[in-house]
Amino acid sequence: MRSPLDYLPVYFIAGTQDIVSGTLPELLEQALKAGVTCFQFREKGAGSIGEAEQRKVLAAECYELCQKYDVPFIVNDDVELALVLDADGIHVGQEDQAIEEVLRLFPGKIVGISCYNKEEIVAANQLKGISYYGIGPVFGTISKSDAKPSIGIKQLDVLARLAKRPSVAIGGISIETVAAIQETAVAGSAVISAITRSEEVNSTINKLKVGG
């Protein structure tokens, strides 16, 4: 099983609801060619696909692309979909399916969990089998209508240092702010709109790699 330090640096998250032009598979392949290190399929919220079979077909196409470029394919929150596809892993939030149950269902797979504060980090540190933590939102974000208040760079670093596993920063990260993220203890940055709304995807991903 590959190390989180290998797949967390440029972590791309998207679903159809995030796509401005073209299709999700088209943008995903462009991002994979440009060097994203992980992809999370997050089909959720207004504008997303509601029909389960259509969602599965799209997810399978994205998974095939990730396999082609040898990049981990992670499913957000949808345990059934992740199991059906035999995805590389799953990411869950604090309010999603109980993490103990998720860990039981995905032995030997990548399991990520969202953490917002010290209490959640400490609790996650006690669990065996978690691969990485997603910490944030660092900044304000347009990609989640129910996002919590931003924690900022300083608190991000505090939480990442408290974490016993590698972590990835998430929430409003852009090519202008990624350099500051890379100065903290996280292993990488997770982005949605920085890529989906980019007019020059290759350039954006290169800047996310090196810090703006």
Distance, in Å, from the CA atom of 179 to the CA atom of 186, rounded to the nearest integer, reads 12
Give DSSP secondary structure letters for 38-84: EEEE---STTS---HHHHHHHHHHHHHHHHHTT--EEEES-HHHHHH
Residue 114 a catalytic site member? yes
Active-site position among 2, 21, 33, 42: 42
Q: For residue 128, with 0-12 CB atoms within 10 Å meaning exposed, 13-18 middle and 19 or more buried, which class applies? A: exposed
Residue 167 a catalytic site member? no
Active-site position among 55, 114, 131, 167: 114
Active-site position among 144, 165, 197, 209: 144
Distance, in Å, from the CA atom of 86 to the CA atom of 116, rounded to the nearest integer, reads 28
Residue 154 a catalytic site member? no
| Cβ proximity of 66 and 33 under 8 Å | no
Distance, in Å, from the CA atom of 37 to the CA atom of 34, rounded to the nearest integer, reads 10
Helix (H) or strand (E) holding 180: helix 178-182
Q: Which residues are designated catalytic?
A: 42, 114, 144
